[in-house]
Amino acid sequence: MNIDPAITELEPEMKRWRHHLHAHPELGFEVHATARFVADLLRSWGIETHEGVGRTGVVGVLRGGSAGPSIGIRADMDALPMTEARALPHASRQPGRMHACGHDGHTVMLLGAAHALARDGGFSGTVNLIFQPAEEGQGGAMAMLADGLFPRFPCDAVYALHNSERPLGEVAVHDGTVAAAADRFDIVIHGRGGHAATPHLTIDPLPIAARLLLDIEALPGRLTNVISPAVVTVGSFHAGEAFNTIPDTARLGGTVRCFDQTVRRQLEREIIGRAKAIATMHGATAAVNYESPFAPTVNSPQHAAIVAKVAEKVVGAHRLVRNPDMEMGSEDFSFMLEQKSGCYFLLGQADEAHAAAAHDPDYDFNDALLPIGASIWVALARHCLPS
Ligand SMILES: [Zn+2]
Ligand SMILES: [Zn+2]
């Protein structure tokens, strides 16, 4: 490992920040204390700091010795609505809230890099430090974009990382698509309830919903080309209370995952269309709510090559993995990558004490990753913005 000396010096402090954030997790856009913690630190290092970008986002503007191009580096700040299982000394003090995706670590890695770059410089142009709320499906990236993120803080390219289940220190860089789009749908079939003994007097929504479930889960590979992977899963199905009563409504909730925008739009159209058609066919109606909180995350090969080159210098060639399988998980940095070229890469954190995957109640971010990620950000800034 080739850790930046300023980062090595800062490591004990980074660990303390991480444990503080981990113990005080906040959800969605309500990351008020976390945003304040970030903004206070940035200001204490003399960095121009903007709060309230996209409600609770923070942007630090770090200017180098002379004018030049600019990059954006994004970290996410929000936690998950779940209860931590392990009794760690820095475990969450808030039952029902937990940093189970490692966003506490992402935030601290970017803070560490900001501190080193603010103190030691070694770059020209501008590094925009983007601290985002509400990554876990509530649209934080979109909120920052809608609040003028890029017009206000111009970036020639944007970068982000996520910890992963790969071995500690392994960096995975994709030249194109990294992570799937994830859509969410909620369908209510409105029929007409009645006695189970006289179904002919009702419009039973259950068999309609059941037909619809079988129909839409079969769309990938039948409607869409198997060459382009896609999954439709109905994860919730609710109808009725009593064994001898036909209810008025049945409700289906599910998700669509795929890597291609054309496939994505095709599946959206078909799910909505089939819900309405199958309901109509049986004399019922369907109300469909369809949301797209995550686009496919797609890197530019040029910026992926830059990250690979920089990361290799930090972690060594034997820890660099190029173009592994795409991730079925999703990331809302995808919306920033739709507007600016850049690269989102994965940083492995698994060792014996950190075997649990993200979103597992046993998960904890691996502190050994803090200096590695921060060093990659410092090296990337100096590489992209040479002084
Ligand atoms: Zn997550
Ligand atoms: Zn995450």
pLDDT, mean of residues 323-327: 91
Q: What's at 340, amino acid-wise?
A: K
The residue assigned the tokens 């976390």 is: 34
Ligand showing the shortest atom-to-Cα distance for residue 163: 2
Both tokens of 136, joined, read 């876990």
Question: What string of H, E and C letters represents the secondary structure of 7-42?
Answer: HHHHHHHHHHHHHHHHHCCCECCCCHHHHHHHHHHH
**The pLDDT of residue 329 is above 90:** no
Q: Which domains does the chain have, with CATH numbers?
A: 5-179+296-384 (3.40.630.10), 182-294 (3.30.70.360)
Identity of the amino acid at 156: D
CA triple 17-349-337, angle to 5 deg? 85
Tell me the pLDDT tens digit for each residue of 44-56: 999 999 999 999 9
The pLDDT of residue 84? 97
Confidence label for 296 from pLDDT (cuts 50, 70 and 90): very high
Closest among 47, 93, 98 to 73, alpha carbons compared: 47
**Percentage of residues in the chain having pLDDT higher than 70:** 100
Catalytic residue among 26, 76, 78, 270: 78
Ligand that lies nearest to the alpha carbon of residue 160, given by its number in the listed order: 2
Count of CA atoms in the C-beta half-sphere (13 A) of 6: 19
Distance 358 CA to ligand 1 centre (A): 7
Using the predicted structure, report yes or no on whether residue 328 has a pLDDT greater than 90. Answer: no
pLDDT at 65 over 90: no
pLDDT band at residue 78 using 50, 70 and 90 as cut-offs: very high
Expressed in angstroms and rounded, the spacing between residue 128 Cα and the centre of ligand 2 is 20
Q: Is residue 135 annotated as part of the catalytic site, yes or no?
A: yes
Q: How confident is the model at residue 283 (pLDDT cuts 50, 70, 90)?
A: very high
In this structure, what DSSP letter does residue 321 have? E
Q: Of 202, 295, 217, whose CA–CA distance to 253 is shortest? A: 217
**Can you give the pLDDT at residue 188?**
98
CB-based contact 28:141 (threshold 8 Å): no
Note residues around ion ligand 1 (Cβ under 5 angstroms): 101
| pLDDT in the model for residue 293 | 87
Look at residue 242 and tell me whether its pLDDT is greater than 90: yes
Give the Å distance between the CA of 268 and the centre of ligand 2. 25
Backbone phi, psi, residue 221, to 5°: 90, -20
78 tagged catalytic: yes
> Mean pLDDT, to the nearest integer, of 169-181?
96
Across 49-53, 81-85, 325-329, least confident range: 325-329
- Please state the rounded mean pLDDT for residues 72-96: 97
C-alpha of residue 1 to centroid of ligand 1, in Å? 27
Active-site choice (4, 26, 135, 260): 135
- The ligand with the least distance to the CA atom of 80 is 1
pLDDT per residue over 332-342, tens digit each? Answer: 999 999 999 99
Q: Which residue has the higher pLDDT, 65 or 72?
A: 72
Q: Which of 53, 61, 60 is nearest to 31 (CA)?
A: 53
pLDDT at 327 over 90: no
Quote the crossing angle between the two packed helices 261-281 and 205-217, to the nearest 10°: 160
In the chain, % of residues over pLDDT 90: 95
Alpha-carbon gap, residue 376 to 109, rounded angstroms: 9
CB 254 within 8 A of CB 289: no
Average pLDDT over residues 248-265: 95
pLDDT at 87 exceeding the cut of 90: yes
Burial state string for 250-287 with b = 16 or more CB within 10 A and e = fewer than 16: bbbbbbbbbbbeebbebbbebbbebbbebbeeeebebe
DSSP letter, residue 214 = H
- Spacing, Cα 136 to ligand 1 middle (Å): 6
Is 158 within 8 Å of 332 (Cβ atoms)?
A: no
Q: How far is CA 368 from the centre of its chain?
A: 22
Closest CA to 187 of 216, 165, 164: 216
What is the whole-number distance in angstroms between the Cα of residue 76 and the centre of ligand 2? Answer: 7
Q: Which residue has the tokens 């990659």?
A: 376
Residue 247 has pLDDT above 90, yes or no: yes
Q: What mean pLDDT is predicted for residues 274-296?
A: 96
Distances (CA, A) of 48 to 42, 128, 129, 352, 385: 8, 10, 10, 40, 18
Which ligand sits nearest to residue 137's alpha carbon? 1
Distance in Å, CA 376 to ligand 2 centroid = 19
